[in-house]
Amino acid sequence: MRVLGIDPGLTRCGVGIVDVRADRRATLVEVTVIRTPPSMPLEERLLAVGNGIEELLDTHGPAVVAIERVFAQHNLRTVMGTAQVSGVALHAAAKRGLPVALHTPSEVKAAITGYGSADKKQVQAMVARILGLAEVPKPADAADALAIAICHAWRGAPATASGAGGADLTPAQAAWRAAERSSGRASAVPRRLAR
């Protein structure tokens, strides 16, 4: 499954595209950050971000788009920009008939690290490890977009038979399985990734 993940932002919008196999192994396709200067008029900034997202959708043909769900912040201006960019991304996906999933930051953290309150550095380090990258993608918006894409693929894909018994799980994957069981949901734990 090819997933395009978006960490929405008006100044920096992270976009990460990953291919995830049935055994949950993830491969980096592309990662980028679409930037717009604060001095640019709002409508032009949204157009630039929208054009960038559309170009990536058309170039890479993902099966699904995953977006970080907008959450309340103290800075109203930041939350408005994030919501506006999310709307542009939703529109671009809908125009192409692509399904869209929204994931909260804690869902993404839990999927990637096994801990819903993990800090950004832990998430970024796990993203690099999962994708077999020599270093963490920068800036943080890029790594966050990849984490959103991986989260969606892992949460939405069925568990494989070989991973069903809990063998070959990383500590994060084992924690995810335990959380799934305690909530009464079917397990969606990814298998250990090849290095």
Catalytic positions: 7, 68, 141
SS3 letters across the chain: CEEEEEECCCCEEEEEEEEECCCCCEEEEEEEEEECCCCCCHHHHHHHHHHHHHHHHHHHCCCEEEEECCCCCCCHHHHHHHHHHHHHHHHHHHHCCCCEEEECHHHHHHHHHCCCCCCHHHHHHHHHHHHCCCCCCCCHHHHHHHHHHHHHHHHHCCCCHHHCCCCCCCHHHHHHHHHHHHCCCCCCCCCCCCC
